[in-house]
Structure 1
Amino acid sequence: MPKDKLLDIPLTTIEIFCQIYVKKNAIEVASHLELSQPKVSRALAALRSVFDDPLFIRRESQFQATEKAHNLYPIFREMMECSQAVDHLMKGGSGGAENTVEIATVPQLEINLTQSIKQAAMPVADSEIIVSTTPWGETTSQQLINDELDAAICFQRSSHRAILSKSIIQHRGGYLVARSDHPIWRDPCIDNMIDYPLVKLITMPFPANKSPIGNYAKQVGKQMQIYATAPDLGSAANSLLNSDAIIIIGVKGAVDFLRNINGLKAQKIDHVQDQSILKNFSHPTVYLWLKLDTRGKVTTPFWLQRCLEDYIIKAHQ
């Protein structure tokens, strides 16, 4: 690959590549970056020419990265993070860590969050920081504006002007979780799933906390029963172990947590059936909420922003 070609690649094109790698959908990337679809397509075409590789191959409704794209992503992401760090410092941002950090989050994205933040803070903190989490909810916006929180992770965009809602990643397929000896495993199709009660987490990644599988049950003339609404994954696991209830989760990190509990089993739902469940629902998006000051500048330290974004992405892989 000629060096002069590589030097001609602007950071905006690299950012488009990183967003396509994460979101797997050019339309979503264009919307997220507030660009036209032709500009996104031209950027991708330019990269394909430079690296003599398709980089992303369309499979059904999403892009799948090639081996070359997988190898490029860590390098390009590091370039974007360095650029953002320089920009943050140029604007007078502080790189140091505070003594305490508090994050509001949904239960699906709480596993290992505090440990991830503590580890990320080690290079920038003078001493070990205290990290705590609180459930995301109706009061989260005001808490963030009042500086009672450092950031929030959730499934919906904030409408408040003082909060930046960063779209980080979309779920790409749900997982069925139930007891290891549950009869559903004989034939785990959705028409059998709706015969069993459902465990819901208190915060669902769908509008008005609706359940897509519950909606599917209504469409075929059945009423799916709710066994329990769990405040956290531990409570959900307890309900699953002591009943014939099932749960469907889209965050891989949460699935792995449940899968590792003795007596529970998890399995990815077949793509065709997953699409049937999600009919009339869009793929859930995970948002990172950050507070803006009066000048429109993000107040959250850059190291923490980077940590939370990495954590969210890794939780889906």
Structure 2
Amino acid sequence: MNLTRIDLNLLVVFDAIARTGSVKDAAPQLALSQPAVSHALNRLRVLMDDPLFVRARNRLVPTERAQSMIGPVAGILQSVRVLMRSDGLDIVEDNRHFRIGISDFAALTIVPRLTRKLQQVAPNATLELINVGEHTLAQLANGELDCTFWGLQPPESPYLSQFLFHDSFVGFCSADHPLVDLGDQGVSIDDYLLYPHAVAQFRASGSSPIDVFLKNIGRHRTIALRSPSFMSNITAIVGTKMVATLPSLLESIALSQGLLSFPLPFLIPNFSYSLVWHRRTEADPSGIWLRRLLVEMR
């Protein structure tokens, strides 16, 4: 492709439409009329030989080609902003849009503090949270994510990571559960396995460390509920005979929902929680700023 034919403003229009899903909503963001935005989109369609966006349920939905362009285009535009800035990066004044991959655990423990902090130090910044899953690493690679929270062993190059904190596991049950009557006697492993369990199962994770431990000693627990989130398990076991094993940082939330906690009757190693990003964003000033903010919050 002849690069002299590419108008950078067409990428700006593409980015705005991809974010808003609408020519009408993109126009005021670009300080352009709707016909001007439509004209720019048509020029880019001809240039890319692809419709890029098709209408579905009153919104413009990206085609497969456009979907593959969203992350790279956002990265190109951010790089241009940094290059053209004469006075250095100023996140406080920027309308910077951050995209972070999150798990249910991060949503409950980190995100509330992050949103409050961003409002304090960078009120013009916006935040988009995307569930982690099997495509998370690809999203980091193509620019759809700036970084992601990570509860597994951090991936190898070209991905980079920063340790955030350790956490441990704690048992939880309803306030009227028979385990509560054990009192100072404590919960034995037989008591723990006597009742059905609720577990959170995430697509990107393997076997639970709880189940790995139990398998190693020739035991197993009965799983009565599998869900994609810790929060759904917390609310689901209230008033039941089910038991849940959760990260200790969720204890205050669990207690607020009417659950009680108890120490596990066996030792499970603490797990590490990290921040992961792609090497190509290592030197990005806004990425550095965001990662530094998240590390300072730990």
Fold equivalence (TM over 0.5): yes
1:214-242 deviations in Å (ceiling 9; x for gaps): 34444555431112222223311232125
1:154-204 deviations in Å (ceiling 9; x for gaps): 212343523212122222x32111101111122323331111112111239
2:271 to 264, 284, 291: 284
1:235 counterpart = 2:222: no
Partner of 1:297: 283
1:102 counterpart = 2:117: no
Q: Cα distance, 1:120 vs. partner?
A: 2.3
Question: Amino acid of the residue matched to residue 208 of structure 1?
Answer: G
**In structure 1, the residue corresponding to 2:139 is in which secondary structure?**
helix
2:166 to 170, 173, 194: 170
1:39-89 deviations in Å (ceiling 9; x for gaps): xxxxxxxxxxxxxxxxxxxxxxxxxxxxxxxxxxxxxxxxxxxxxxxxxxx
1:278-310 deviations in Å (ceiling 9; x for gaps): 2xxx4311111123228x536653442133234
1:183 counterpart = 2:178: yes
Question: Amino acid of the residue matched to residue 301 of structure 1?
Answer: G
Q: Distance in 1 between matches of 2:203 and 2:273?
A: 11
Is the CA contact 2:89–2:285 (under 8 Å) kept in the aligned structure 1?
no
Is the CA contact 1:291–1:299 (under 8 Å) kept in the aligned structure 2?
no
Distance 1:163 1:307, change over 3 A: same
Pairwise CA RMSD of aligned residues? Answer: 3.0
1:148 counterpart = 2:148: no
Is the CA contact 2:169–2:270 (under 8 Å) kept in the aligned structure 1?
no
Give TM-score, length-normalised by structure 2.
0.59
Aligned identity (percent) is: 17
Distance 1:283 1:146, change over 3 A: same
**In structure 1, the residue corresponding to 2:105 is in which secondary structure?**
helix
Larger radius of gyration: 2
1:157 counterpart = 2:156: no
Partner of 2:40: none
Partner of 2:19: none
Q: Cα distance, 1:133 vs. partner?
A: 2.1
Is the CA contact 1:114–1:132 (under 8 Å) kept in the aligned structure 2?
no
Q: Distance in 1 between matches of 2:112 and 2:164?
A: 20
Question: Amino acid of the residue matched to residue 195 of structure 1?
Answer: L
Question: Amino acid of the residue matched to residue 197 of structure 2?
Answer: L
Q: Distance in 2 between matches of 1:107 and 1:101?
A: 18
Distance 1:289 1:154, change over 3 A: same
Give TM-score, length-normalised by structure 1.
0.56
Q: Distance in 1 between matches of 2:89 and 2:158?
A: 20
Q: Distance in 2 between matches of 1:125 and 1:176?
A: 38
Q: Cα distance, 1:95 vs. partner?
A: 4.7
Is the CA contact 2:176–2:239 (under 8 Å) kept in the aligned structure 1?
no
**In structure 2, the residue corresponding to 1:209 is in which secondary structure?**
coil
1:82-141 deviations in Å (ceiling 9; x for gaps): xxxxxxxxxx983515543222122122115443223322455362x3323222221111
Distance 1:168 1:118, change over 3 A: closer
Q: Which segments of 5 or more consecutive residues in structure 1 lack a partner in the other structure?
A: 1-91
Is the CA contact 1:120–1:304 (under 8 Å) kept in the aligned structure 2?
no
1:228-263 deviations in Å (ceiling 9; x for gaps): 2222233112321253111112241x22111111x3
Distance 1:200 1:310, change over 3 A: farther
Q: Distance in 1 between matches of 2:111 and 2:294?
A: 10
Distance 1:186 1:126, change over 3 A: closer
**In structure 1, the residue corresponding to 2:199 is in which secondary structure?**
strand
Count of matched residue pairs = 206
1:118 to 96, 105, 115: 115
**In structure 2, the residue corresponding to 1:224 is in which secondary structure?**
coil
Is the CA contact 1:291–1:300 (under 8 Å) kept in the aligned structure 2?
no
